[in-house]
Structure 1
Amino acid sequence: MSWDPYATLGLGRTATADDIRRAYRKLAKELHPDVRPGDKAAEERFKRATAAFNLLSDPALKSRYDRGEIDADGNERMAFGGGGPRPRQSARAGAGAGGFGGGPQGGPAGGADAFDLGDIFSDLFGPGFSGGGRGYGRMRGRDIRFTLDIDFLDAVNGAKRRVSLAEGRTLDVAIPAGVESGQVLRLKNQGGPGVQGGPSGDALVELNVRPHAFFRREGQDIHMDLNISLTEAVEGGRVQAPTPSGPVSLSIPAGSNTGKVLRLKGKGVGGQGDQFVRLLVMLPEVPDEELKRFVKKWPKRDQAPPRPS
Structure 2
Amino acid sequence: MAGDPYKELGVSRGASADEIKKAFRKLAKELHPDTNPGDKAKLERFQRVTGAFDVLGDKEKRAKYDSGQIDADGREQYAGATGGRGSPFGAGGAGGFAGGFGGGPRHEGGPGGRASFDNIDLEELFGRFGGGAGAGAGGGGGRAAFGRGQDVRASLEISLEDSIAGATRRIQFSDGRTLDVTIPKGATDGQTIRLRGQGTPGRTEPGDALIELKIAVHPVFKVDGADLTMDLPVSVPDAVLGGKVQAQTPEGVVSVTIPAGSNSGQTLRLKGRGAMVGGRRGDLKARIVVMLPDTPDEALKAFAQEWRDKRPYKPGR
TM-score using structure 1 length: 0.62
Asked if 1:179 is matched to 2:216, the reply is no
The residue that corresponds to 2:306 in the other structure is 297
Shift of 1:255: 0.6
The residue that corresponds to 1:257 in the other structure is 263
The residue that corresponds to 2:169 in the other structure is 161
Q: Write the letter of the residue equivalent to 2:138.
A: G
CA change 1:146–1:302 in 2 (3 A) is: same
Q: Secondary structure at the match of 1:268?
A: coil
The residue that corresponds to 1:52 in the other structure is 116
Match of 1:193 among 187, 198, 201: 201
Question: Is residue 157–residue 269 contact of structure 1 (8 Å, CA) maintained in 2?
Answer: no
Question: Is residue 139–residue 150 contact of structure 2 (8 Å, CA) maintained in 1?
Answer: no
Unaligned 5+ segments in structure 1 are 1-11, 36-41, 78-90, 99-103, 109-116, 118-138
Shift of 1:96: 3.3
Q: Write the letter of the residue equivalent to 2:315.
A: P
CA change 1:45–1:242 in 2 (3 A) is: same
What is the 5 A alignment of 1:103-182?
106-108=143-145, 139-182=147-190
CA change 1:301–1:56 in 2 (3 A) is: farther
CA change 1:194–1:258 in 2 (3 A) is: same
**In terms of mean alpha carbon deviation, does 232-241 or 296-305 score higher?**
296-305
TM-score using structure 2 length: 0.60
Shift of 1:167: 3.6
**In terms of mean alpha carbon deviation, does 295-304 or 238-247 score higher?**
295-304
Q: Write the letter of the residue equivalent to 1:143.
A: D
Question: Is residue 48–residue 97 contact of structure 1 (8 Å, CA) maintained in 2?
Answer: no
Shift of 1:165: 2.8
The residue that corresponds to 1:127 in the other structure is none
Higher RCO (CA-CA < 8 Å; seq separation 6+): 1
The residue that corresponds to 1:224 in the other structure is 230
**Counterparts of 1:156 and 1:14, CA distance in 2:** 55
Match of 1:247 among 227, 240, 253: 253
**Counterparts of 1:171 and 1:97, CA distance in 2:** 22
**In terms of mean alpha carbon deviation, does 236-245 or 290-299 score higher?**
290-299
Shift of 1:157: 2.0
Shift of 1:168: 4.1
The residue that corresponds to 1:88 in the other structure is none
The residue that corresponds to 1:278 in the other structure is 287
Q: Secondary structure at the match of 1:149?
A: strand
**In terms of mean alpha carbon deviation, does 181-190 or 292-301 score higher?**
292-301
CA change 1:45–1:194 in 2 (3 A) is: same
**Counterparts of 1:144 and 1:152, CA distance in 2:** 25
Give the greater-gyration-radius structure (CA).
Answer: 2
**Counterparts of 1:57 and 1:92, CA distance in 2:** 13
Question: Is residue 21–residue 57 contact of structure 1 (8 Å, CA) maintained in 2?
Answer: no
**Counterparts of 1:177 and 1:224, CA distance in 2:** 22
Question: What is the CA deviation profile of residues 232-262 of structure 1, one whole-angstrom value per residue up to 9, with x for unaligned ones?
Answer: 1001111121100122111110011111110
Question: Is residue 194–residue 200 contact of structure 1 (8 Å, CA) maintained in 2?
Answer: yes
Identity %: 42
Question: What is the CA deviation profile of residues 57-104 of structure 1, one whole-angstrom value per residue up to 9, with x for unaligned ones?
Answer: 97xx86565xxxx3xxx6623xxxxxxxxxxxxx65644346xxxxx6
Shift of 1:193: 1.4
Shift of 1:208: 2.0
Q: Write the letter of the residue equivalent to 1:48.
A: G
Question: Is residue 295–residue 301 contact of structure 1 (8 Å, CA) maintained in 2?
Answer: no
Question: Is residue 106–residue 193 contact of structure 1 (8 Å, CA) maintained in 2?
Answer: no
Question: Is residue 166–residue 185 contact of structure 2 (8 Å, CA) maintained in 1?
Answer: yes
**Counterparts of 2:293 and 2:270, CA distance in 1:** 27
**Counterparts of 2:176 and 2:135, CA distance in 1:** 23
Q: Secondary structure at the match of 1:295?
A: helix
Q: What's the Cα RMSD here?
A: 3.6
